[in-house]
Structure 1
Amino acid sequence: MSRKQTRTRTEGRELIMERSFDAPKKLVYEAHVTPDSVARWWGPTGWETHSTEMAVEPGVWHYCMRSSEDGQEAWGKATYQEVVPDARLVYVDAFADQYGNELAEMPKMLIQVDFSEEGKQTKITSRTLFDSEEELQKIIDMQAVEGMSETYDRLDEFLHDQQKNKEEG
């Protein structure tokens, strides 16, 4: 399995990340909206994700990423605004506490994830809009781009394993 590169750029207050996967669009989409699947790939290398709630349509995803190295926790809350099965997810992502309260001192992000077919591959385009360029820079400084690239690496491995299991099953 080859590692693909995540293409990243900024445009004003927006962070755009693109990545292609060797998997059908339906499988890639389902990996984003199924709690058991998300738990297997969401988060950077060395972090595990636990969902306390995940109701995509309509609803909220409240989750905790926990470092397996030192136990550090990072809580988040995604509030879904638009769900187009197998095509698009739009949600507001915010840093939160374990009770789902959003942290006012941290940036909120309006995220649109589009899923498109490119031959036998599926391309994800994630567009994250911030309230200001300063908030975007704060997230970049927190190494979120590197973390999301690692997350996409983990998604690539998950999708590969899912397809392999299906072929063997």
Structure 2
Amino acid sequence: MPTIDITSDPEALTMTVVAEFDAPVERLWAIYTDPRQLERFWGPPGWPATFSEYDLSVGGHAHYAMNGPRGELSRGTWEFLAIEEPHRLEVLDAFADESGAPIEGMPAMRMVFTFEESGTGTQMRTVSHFTSVEALEQVIEMGVVEGTRLAMGQIERVLHDLREYAQGRGTQTEVLTDQHVRITRLVDGPRDLVWRAHTEPKLMKQWLLGPDGWVMTECEMPASAPGPYRYAWAPVDGGEGEPFGFDGEVTLMQAPHRMVSTEHMSGTEYPPTLNDLQLYEEDGATLITFLIEYPDAATRDMVLATGMADGMETSYARLERELLAV
């Protein structure tokens, strides 16, 4: 993850973001001016962005929406004020309504993106200019600082070829906040099949088993959201370990790229987590991303200490071997 420095200056009415990336200036410029690449990181984890319009011309507009895991929707709009390829981009960023018009009373900011060569690649600097101290304080209170840091932490995977970035690394676990953990795994197979492997019980029973020696005894999935689900596992032929399972509700299903669900360990008083599965395909490989929201840091650490990531890696390796390699 790049080093990201974010500072605010109430006297100058600015917030400044500085980050270094191991990529040429032209590559950084490309991901900020191609909406399909931009939407892969513009929203923070759990709030992926979709750009419905992107007119890269002075006076042109871009419209986007960020979709939260609980059905939340935050819309925004840009007006392009200056374009100096590949070093400088200036936009007026504002919260927007359904028509794309700025929402009166919500803070707007003039954002200036600059990309300059550095010793290791490119230094990116973003300076956001506000009209008042109140507007600056309002966006800070809304969590923009942490959201920006998390969003920019996703840029590295966009800058590089997906196989180059993730192949061979296995299951990766990143602690993002006290409540959020991101788990990623690149699998060698098309997204449509990976989606089916996560949503069709017949396929799930072939790979979603965790360590060897276990079998999935129950697998109930809804055909659409919202709808309940249940999984259960048991050791084979009386092997070591106690049967267990999870239940919850699939709250969002957007085939073949996103599914959000609650997850609760059956028969316990443990609080549920919120699991956000997202799939991205490039050149025949699919990046699986799980964003897990825990109720608190203690629960997060307790779950991670169980070796959950190791069990997921065993399952993903089985997915490649049993389904994707056929």
TM-score normalised over the length of structure 2: 0.48
The answer as to 2:67 corresponding to 1:66 is yes
Any gaps of 5 or more consecutive residues in structure 1?
A: none
Query: How many matched pairs?
Result: 163
Q: Which runs of 4+ in 1 moved over 4 A?
A: none
> Where does 1:139-154 land on structure 2 (aligned, <5 Å)?
139-154=139-154
- Partner SS for 1:10: strand
Partner of 2:109: 109
Any gaps of 5 or more consecutive residues in structure 2?
A: 166-282, 284-326
| Residue type at the aligned position of 1:82 | A
Distance 1:94 1:27, change over 3 A: same
Distance 1:162 1:112, change over 3 A: farther
For residues 97-146 of structure 1, the C-alpha deviation after alignment (integer angstroms, 9 at most, x for no partner) is: 12111101101101101001102311110000100111101100111011
Partner of 1:156: 156
Distance 1:162 1:31, change over 3 A: farther
TM-score normalised over the length of structure 1: 0.91
For residues 3-57 of structure 1, the C-alpha deviation after alignment (integer angstroms, 9 at most, x for no partner) is: 2231111222100110111111111111001011112221101111111110112
Give the distance between the partners of 2:94 and 2:22, measured in 1 at CA.
Answer: 30
RMSD over aligned Cα, in angstroms? 1.6
Give the distance between the partners of 1:99 and 1:161, measured in 2 at CA.
Answer: 35
| Residue type at the aligned position of 1:47 | W
- Partner SS for 1:40: coil
| Residue type at the aligned position of 1:153 | G
For residues 53-78 of structure 1, the C-alpha deviation after alignment (integer angstroms, 9 at most, x for no partner) is: 101123111110111x2121100000
Which of 1, 8, 11 lines up with 1:10 in the alignment?
8
Partner of 2:137: 137
- Partner SS for 2:160: helix
* 8 Å contact from structure 1 (residues 32, 38) kept in 2: yes
- Partner SS for 1:93: strand
Partner of 1:78: 78
Structure number, greater radius of gyration: 2
Percent identical residues: 28
> Where does 1:82-97 land on structure 2 (aligned, <5 Å)?
82-97=82-97
The 10-residue stretch of structure 1 (117-126 or 155-164) with the greater mean CA deviation from structure 2: 155-164
* 8 Å contact from structure 1 (residues 22, 122) kept in 2: yes
Partner of 1:34: 34
Give the distance between the partners of 2:163 and 2:126, measured in 1 at CA.
Answer: 23
